[in-house]
Amino acid sequence: MPKQITDSYRGLRQYIIIILLVAAAIPLAVIGGSIYYEYRASVREKVTTQLKSIVTHHKESIESFLQEITAAMRVATHLKPLDKIAQTEVLQNVFHSLQREYKHAFEDLGVIDSKGAHLAYIGAYDLLGKNYSDAAWFKEVMDKRVFISDVFLGYRQVPHFVIAVKEGEGKGAWILRATVDAARFGTVVENVRLGHTGEAFIVNKEGYYETRPRMAGDILEKIEPGSLDLAPFDGVKFWEVKDKNGQKVLRAKTWMKDNNWLLIVKQDVDEAFAEVYKTRNMAIALFVIGALLVAVVTFFTTRVLVRKIEKADEQKRALDEQLIESAKLASIGELSAGIAHEINNPLAIIGQEAGWMQDLLKRDDLKGIKEMDDFKDSLREIARQAGQCKEITHKLLSFARKTESVIKNVNINELIEDVIGIVEREAAVNNIEIVRQYDEPLPLIYGDPAQLRQVFLNLLNNATDALKRGGEIKIETGTGEDDSISIKVSDTGVGMPKEILTKIFDPFFTTKPQRKGTGLGLSICHGIIEELGGDITVASQVGKGTTFTINLPLEQKRGET
């Protein structure tokens, strides 16, 4: 096939593939994308709701922890008057029972009078006798009766905070003070379950860490300026930041302890959205697999499609060639018919003249001519040859007659004899013997003689082709069942295997080389016989030969239907 044509099929194929792929990929991507975003939004909501409930819950538990301690200390101050509680053993007892109750949350416990003097102390530091009158927490508790401080260093120079309750009024007032180690409190605060990356910490309103955050900073260090908005608000707020490693972090914050402490809970976005990412990856994988599948299917179907088109085009070309060929044949036929017609008259005249000359030779006055016998022989030969020529022109005329479908009564034996007349000479050259086995008289059938001639010519030509090394072609006619006649054309040629046998009636199926076969012969036969209400079947054996059997209904039967 010329390069240009191959290229155009390749172009067509690429075009179809691209169109199909684009048509398939767009909806796939749109659906996949929208499902993913939809899902992502729903998971984001779930994650924030979860984080919010954790923050709220955590805030409540820290606050209630502090409140309970305060309440317990308040109870202790109610139960014990100052002179009692200032005794070391009594204070010791109170300290122990508080420790028991609150899982050793306290560092120490002290009693301080209204002037700030440390009257009694249980704890690890040497703080007895210190004066707190200048301490911020002292002033606060004297004023408010109950005070929980922020974390500070104090005399001990260790981060801690103070829970203090005041009892009594005026000069008789005194304070019970417990301290909580910031680090230990931190473990309470941090006790939040948020996967591997989640954490919780507290910042006071000036922006100092009250507990130690896991990632950066330490207790009493100031947060990075601008990293956190410290304006008070109600409820829970969320925001997203990038940490030092470029990791996205989802944070939730809420104010507690009368807007003094800001509880912050954070979680890596990656972890919070692990499920989403899993879904996204799955969606991408599905998309890729889907796209691949579509691509493969498209690729193969297009290949099949374009091949079919290519084949159809090829057949069309062959048909065009065939048309040109038959047009050529038709014009040759017309030409020869014309010539035959023109020659007919002179031939008739030659025959008449020869006859007249023969009559003349019979006259008495011509009897003495010496070469009389030679004259007679020549005239006989002229008459005979003219007769033969007439017969040939006759056959030519009847065969090349324009083939409008003319349905009439046909004597099949005679018709077959006509066709044999055409192929006989070539058959003899190829060492092929034609055997006739006619059933006489055969009922007439109803059909188009030109078309029927074509059928038998095709069968005889095929048989001749099959008999490369000579052999026998046998033609049998006879009456069949159901008011029909049957014609068998058998040869002793090469035969056909099954896989060829099933295709021989297909148009353009041929096993012959390009110039020789068009693959149209048998399909034309099939068409003509079907048209006449008959059928054509074949039986063949490789190496032994082939038999085509045609059944044609009789005139009467056809007339009825």
Q: Which is nearer to Mg ion, 310 or 424 (CB)?
A: 424
Q: Which of 34, 67, 133, 511 binds ligand ADP (CB under 6 A)?
A: 511
Q: Which residues contact 236 (CB under 8 A, 6 or more apart)?
A: 52, 55, 56, 252, 253, 254
Residue 512 near ligand ADP by CB under 6 A: yes
Q: How far is the CB of 428 from ligand ADP (least distance, A)?
A: 19
Q: How far is the CB of 495 from ligand ADP (least distance, A)?
A: 6
- Residue whose tokens read 């998971």: 43
Rounded to 10 deg, the angle between the 449-466 and 521-531 helix axes is 140
Partner from Mg ion, ligand ADP, none contacting 512, C-beta within 5 to 8 A by type: ligand ADP
- Residue whose tokens read 């016989």: 529
Residue 521 near Mg ion by CB under 5 A: yes
* Contact mark string toward ligand ADP, 435..474, x via CB under 6 A: -----------------------x---xx--x--------
Residue 464 near Mg ion by CB under 5 A: no
Q: Which of 179, 477, 510, 551 binds ligand ADP (CB under 6 A)?
A: 510
Binding span for ligand ADP by CB under 6 A among 162-170, 324-332, 443-451, 512-520? 512-520
Binding span for Mg ion by CB under 5 A among 159-167, 283-291, 430-438, 459-467? 459-467
Q: How far is the CB of 487 from Mg ion (least distance, A)?
A: 17
Q: Which is nearer to ligand ADP, 379 or 489 (CB)?
A: 489
Partner from Mg ion, ligand ADP, none contacting 98, C-beta within 5 to 8 A by type: none
Chain positions 143 to 202 lying near Mg ion, rule: CB under 5 A, are none
Q: Which of 114, 179, 451, 462 binds Mg ion (CB under 5 A)?
A: 462
Q: How many CB atoms sit inside 10 A of residue 427's CB? A: 19
Q: Which is nearer to Mg ion, 110 or 521 (CB)?
A: 521
Partner from ligand ADP, Mg ion, none contacting 148, C-beta within 5 to 8 A by type: none
* CB-CB contact of 132 with 111 (8 Å): no
Chain positions 528 to 547 lying near ligand ADP, rule: CB under 6 A, are 546
Q: Helices marked H in 132-273 — which ranges?
A: 136-144, 182-190, 269-272
Distances (CA, A) of 85 to 81, 108, 143, 261: 6, 14, 22, 32
Q: Which of 337, 494, 532, 536 binds ligand ADP (CB under 6 A)?
A: 494
Residue, CB closest to ligand ADP: 521
Residue 522 near ligand ADP by CB under 6 A: yes
Q: How many CB atoms sit inside 10 A of residue 20's CB? A: 17
Q: Which of 217, 387, 480, 517 binds ligand ADP (CB under 6 A)?
A: 517
Q: Which is nearer to ligand ADP, 518 or 551 (CB)?
A: 518
Helix (H) or strand (E) holding 511: none
* CB-CB contact of 149 with 160 (8 Å): no
DSSP assigned state of 221: P
Distances (CA, A) of 533 to 209, 238, 302, 413, 536: 104, 88, 40, 19, 10
Partner from ligand ADP, Mg ion, none contacting 492, C-beta within 5 to 8 A by type: none
* CB-CB contact of 449 with 410 (8 Å): yes
Binding residues with ligand ADP: total (CB under 6 A)? 23
* CB-CB contact of 64 with 262 (8 Å): no
* Helix, strand, or coil (residue 522): helix
Residue 276 near ligand ADP by CB under 6 A: no
- Supply 530's token pair: 């079907």
Q: How far is the CB of 486 from ligand ADP (least distance, A)?
A: 17
Residue 518 near ligand ADP by CB under 6 A: yes
Binding residues with Mg ion: total (CB under 5 A)? 2
Q: How far is the CB of 513 from Mg ion (least distance, A)?
A: 13
Q: Which residues contact 144 (CB under 8 A, 6 or more apart)?
A: none
Measured distance between the N- and C-terminal CA atoms of the chain, rounded to whole angstroms: 49
Give the CA angle between residues 486, 492, 498 to the nearest 5°: 80
Spatial CA neighbour of 311 closest among 469, 45, 540, 508: 508
Residues in the site for ligand ADP, rule: CB under 6 A?
458, 462-463, 466, 491, 493-496, 500, 504, 509-512, 517-523, 546
Residues in the site for Mg ion, rule: CB under 5 A?
462, 521
